[in-house]
Amino acid sequence: MFDLRQIQKMQKELQERMERVREELKQKTVEAFSGGGMVTAVANGAQEIVAIKIRPEAVDVNDLEMLEDLVVAAVNMALEKSKELNEEELSKLTGGLKLPGLF
């Protein structure tokens, strides 16, 4: 038989642990580079872009479109890395189970 109180307790503990993981993820960062390091995007584990770094030699007013493309590429890679970090941490929490909608 299932003990409803035990299940509720386990659910509450899981939610509390998930909240701690979310807070920890906000403190962890990943970096992604494009254009051979001309543009760097930094994202945290909460999939927020926290910094964009552009080397001065990347700024060519005659080719702003290329710079824009480099920024987009770096941001997309940083967000992908952030997603992977998020999934790794979630996997630790759930013991490898895929639980859609938790994060």
Domain of residue 80, CATH code: 3.30.1310.10
Name 52's Cβ contacts closer than 8 Å, sequence gap at least 6: 39, 40, 41, 42, 71, 74, 75
In a domain, 19, yes or no: no
**52 within a domain of the structure (yes/no):** yes
Per DSSP bridges, beta strands 29-34 and 49-54 are unpaired
Would residue 57 count as lying in a domain? yes
Per-residue pLDDT tens over the stretch 38-78: 999 999 999 999 999 999 988 876 788 999 999 999 999 99
Q: Look up the domain containing 90 and give its range.
A: 29-94
| 46, part of any domain | yes
Residue 96 has pLDDT above 70, yes or no: no
Amino acid 62: pLDDT: 78
Q: Give residue 37's pLDDT band: very low, low, confident or very high (50, 70, 90).
A: very high
Mean pLDDT of 7-33: 90
State pTM to two decimals: 0.75
The answer to whether residue 9 is domain-embedded is: no
pLDDT on residue 93: 77
